[in-house]
Amino acid sequence: MTLRTLGTLSVEGVTFRREKVLLLLAYLCLEGPQPRRRLAELFWPDATNPMNSLAQHLVHLRGLPGALAEDGQRVAAAMPCDAATLRDLVRRGRHEDAAALYAGPFMDALTIPLGADLEEWVFDTRDAVAQDARAALMTLGAQAAAHGQAARAGELAARALTLDGAPPPDELDLPRLHHLLSLAGHPLAAQVERDARSLGLTLSAAPAPVSAPFAGRETELAALNTLTPGQTAWISGHAGMGKTALLEALARSGGWTVLAGRAEPPYATLSPLTAAPPTHPQAAHAALRDPHLRVAIDSWDAADPATQAALTHAAAARPGAVIVITSRHHPPFDVDLHLNLGPLSPDDLRAHPEVHARTDGHPVLVGHALRGQPLDLRLGARVRAYPDPVRDAFLLLALQDQPNLRATRAALNQDAGTFARTLSYLTTEGLTSETGRVYAAATTREHLNQIHVHAALLHLRLARALPEDTAWPHYDRSRDLWEDPDETRAAHAARHHAHTHLKRGYPGQAAALLDTLSHLPTLAVPHAWALIGVGRYQDALNRLNTLSPHDQQVSDALAARAVTLIRLGRTDEAVTLAEQISGSGPDAAHAASVRAHAARMREQWDAARRHAQIAADLWNLHGDDEAHLTELGMVARAQVGLGSEPQVAFAEVLRRSQDLPSVHGMILVNYAAALGDRGSTTQAEAELHRAVEHLTLAGDRQGLATVHGNLGVRCHLAGQLRDAIEHYRRALALLSGSGHIRLLGVTLSNLSEIDGDLSGFEDALTLLEQAGQVELVQQIRLNAQMVSVP
């Protein structure tokens, strides 16, 4: 026998019409065992003797075989009830059986008056049972949609919407109902839209889950949509690489069902595909046999082991369904298609080039960028959620263009095992590559800029751990936190960094860096070399003069002073210092070069050739190809002075320097000068234009300024004043920010001479005088002719 409460009130198989007795039985069926006094007070609140009333009704129930189970002061039902069975079926996932059992509203046939509390229980239970029935119908509708049965899905959704006894759908049910009804083109979709509007909801004709804008995975999406029945695809990638976004796009493309991986109970992940949750492998395999089914599992890592076993079997047996699986790991079995997702490339985002530049192609950040959301806020919120050691590891890596993992571990004071686990965590979270490179590091640095003190502390920790040759940028960002021991090491790091700038051909950057550390005696010599590089010769002498008398006699200081003096035209003093330097080190190479330049200025070409060759050999000994070839250029110039043809003298050095465009360009400048001295002006100008090509390729702005200055002088002397002005202005533009006083002063004086700007001319000469170029100023005054462009 079964108690029927849905759409009727009766006991199956018997004639029994006492409503309150059956209501009491229904209450016990749904609420479980109850104390007698609780039942008496609920059912007969106004009775003189509620316990007596209860006893009389229990007598009637005892007349129904198997209806009651009594245990002292507690009473329980022993008879099945359709409402209780329906609710249990829904909890167990047997949605089809549950929907079939619903025959109408709970206790709808009740006609007797009830107390307030009991009446409230009846109404609440009626709503709850109807909601369960509606949920079962909606689940069945979703399953039908997954199998491409749109009409069936619409029919089930319509039943759920109009279910007798159910309350109006809420804001959670309305979008689901609307989706199913819209798929079928059902007229009730319009009613659901109106109901949604009354609740302030806006539903589209084809609702879809809110997701990140989709970009850059069009090729992968197309490949997934070409899978045929029985095939399996696997999408792997670290967290944040766009696996879920790709599945969302797949679902929007039509005909796909996306199932979230669930850890329990067994086969929980696959349960939406069946009327009742699978309880054994055969049932799970059967759920994947439909060749019309296209299902995506997100993700393998979250799915229960039983589902994983079923999917493994399906990949081998090819039962019919198209299956797509996402995971952070590579597939453990053979698949038909494996897509391993990483950051999006510039080509993937060619429609949004600025987005790739900001995000490094990290899919999560790409989505935020396309939505116009601040990336630093996204990263900031994510980073703040990490434990302190993980967060600091991430930030320390983000501060480095090329992460030094050994130094990062030292800065964190972590043992090797702990650091390995930290790095692995960051990698699997999709924040860094396996080498520790942080995706969109610039965005993380923007976030760090908002927490200045913490950022400076991280920079200092990193600076202390990094090798000196790479530590300076981090010392520079943490100056306010330096302690006494930091100053010495920071000075060494600054020396390395300035040397790098000089070797790359950026003396202005080296000078600007060391200008900020002019109080440190240990940096006087490298500072002087940087100042020489930008033509600030007087400043270089002044810096060298800050050294103690003893330190001024050290060979590196002597070499720097000698080079400064030769550039200032103080030839005799320069040679006297150069003669004091011995040995075969770089200082000796500089000394030989100084003596070669002095001999050239005196047109002592044999001595110039001999000293330049010595300098070239010494630089070759030290492996400095650029300096070696530069001095060979001087050897070639001296050979021309000794009578060789320029084409012959320069042929070998021009050939050997072709792989070094900056050096090759400056050798072409000297070659052009030699040709000009021999009267080959046309060829000389052609070589200068070739020099422009090579120096442009090298990015050598100072060299380019030198060439345009030379071309300007040629045009100036030839009376081609408009062309001269153009070259001088190009030279000035190239010198902007370089700090190269000598070139800047000469170019300004030449330009002012053409413009007839006496005030500008004098200002330029004053600039040169302040830089120590007294003899050069005298020569310019001697040669100057104030003219103007016609």
Residue 202, φ and ψ in degrees, nearest 5: -115, 120
Q: Of 323, 340, 357, which residue sits at a domain end? A: 340
**What confidence score (pLDDT) does residue 780 get?**
58
**What confidence score (pLDDT) does residue 208 get?**
40
pLDDT digits (tens, 9 = 90+) for 481-537: 999 889 999 999 999 999 888 877 677 788 889 999 998 889 999 999 988 887 788
Report yes or no on 551 lying in a domain.
no
CATH of the domain at 254: 3.40.50
Does 638 score more than 70 pLDDT? yes
Report yes or no on 172 lying in a domain.
yes
Does 767 score more than 80 pLDDT? no
Report the percent of the chain where pLDDT is more than 70.
90
Both tokens assigned to 641:
């002075």
SS (H, E, C) 709-742: HHHHHHHHHCCCHHHHHHHHHHHHHHHCCCCCHH
Instruction: Compare 790 and 745 and report the one with higher pLDDT.
Output: 745
Number of domains in the chain: 4
Of the candidates 175, 133, 138, 173, which has an alpha carbon nearest to the alpha carbon of residue 153? Answer: 138
Report yes or no on 785 lying in a domain.
yes
Report yes or no on 764 lying in a domain.
yes
Instruction: Compare 66 and 98 and report the one with higher pLDDT.
Output: 98
CB 149 within 8 A of CB 115: no
Q: Of 439, 460, 482, which residue sits at a domain end? A: 482
Cα 539 from Cα 326, distance rounded (Å)? 65
CB-based burial label for 755 (10 Å; 0-12, 13-18, 19+): middle
Highest mean pLDDT among 78-82, 197-201, 529-533: 78-82
Q: Which residues contact 197 (CB under 8 A, 6 or more apart)?
A: none
Report the percent of the chain where pLDDT is more than 90.
41
Residues 331 and 387 in one domain: no
Does 650 score more than 90 pLDDT? yes
Mean pLDDT of the chain: 85
**What confidence score (pLDDT) does residue 789 get?**
42
Give the range among 87-101, 456-470, 551-565 with minimum mean pLDDT. 87-101
- The CA angle 529-532-535, to the nearest 5 degrees, is 160
Give the range among 322-336, 517-531, 713-727, 775-789 with minimum mean pLDDT. 775-789
Q: State the virtual CA torsion across 29, 35, 38, 44 in degrees, nearest 10.
A: 70
- For residue 72, give its domain range: 1-201
Residues 57 and 195 in one domain: yes
Report yes or no on 613 lying in a domain.
no
Residues 223 and 169 in one domain: no
Both tokens assigned to 312:
């493994």
- For residue 432, what are the β-bridge partners? 438
Does 443 score more than 90 pLDDT? no
Residues 227 and 178 in one domain: no
- For residue 234, what are the β-bridge partners? 325, 338
Query: What secondary structure does DSSP assign to 533-602, as a single string?
Result: HTT-HHHHHHHHTTS-HHHHTSHHHHHHHHHHHHHTT-HHHHHHHHTT--SSSHHHHHHHHHHHHHHHHT
Of the candidates 291, 340, 339, which has an alpha carbon nearest to the alpha carbon of residue 314? Answer: 291
**Cis peptide leading into residue 299 (ω within 30°):** yes
**What confidence score (pLDDT) does residue 363 get?**
80
**What confidence score (pLDDT) does residue 788 get?**
41
Q: How many CB atoms lie within 10 A of CB 757?
A: 16
Q: Of 159, 176, 201, which residue sits at a domain end? A: 201
Residues 82 and 178 in one domain: yes
Does 542 score more than 60 pLDDT? yes
CB 232 within 8 A of CB 335: yes
Cα 359 from Cα 357, distance rounded (Å)? 6
Cα 86 from Cα 747, distance rounded (Å)? 94
Report yes or no on 586 lying in a domain.
no
Residue 208, φ and ψ in degrees, nearest 5: -145, 155
Confidence of residue 185 (pLDDT cuts 50, 70, 90): confident
**What confidence score (pLDDT) does residue 675 get?**
93
Cα 152 from Cα 724, distance rounded (Å)? 84
CB 398 within 8 A of CB 477: no
Cα 714 from Cα 681, distance rounded (Å)? 9
Give the range among 80-89, 236-245, 336-345 with minimum mean pLDDT. 236-245
**What confidence score (pLDDT) does residue 653 get?**
94
Residues 161 and 305 in one domain: no
Q: Which residue in the block uniquely carries the two structure tokens 């007349």?
A: 63
Residues 265 and 320 in one domain: yes
Q: How many CB atoms lie within 10 A of CB 118?
A: 18
Residues 179 and 80 in one domain: yes
Residues 23 and 102 in one domain: yes
CB 600 within 8 A of CB 608: yes
**What confidence score (pLDDT) does residue 734 get?**
79
Residues 383 and 275 in one domain: no
Does 374 score more than 70 pLDDT? no
Instruction: Compare 142 and 43 and report the one with higher pLDDT.
Output: 43
Residues 757 and 719 in one domain: yes
CB 560 within 8 A of CB 544: yes
Does 393 score more than 60 pLDDT? yes
Give the range among 301-310, 430-439, 761-770 with minimum mean pLDDT. 761-770
pLDDT digits (tens, 9 = 90+) for 251-297: 876 678 888 888 778 888 888 887 777 888 888 888 888 888 889 99
Report yes or no on 345 lying in a domain.
no
Confidence of residue 785 (pLDDT cuts 50, 70, 90): low
Report yes or no on 531 lying in a domain.
no
Give the range among 329-338, 430-439, 683-692 with minimum mean pLDDT. 430-439
Does 157 score more than 50 pLDDT? yes
Secondary structure class of 381 (helix, strand, coil): helix
- For residue 776, what are the β-bridge partners? none
Residues 171 and 318 in one domain: no
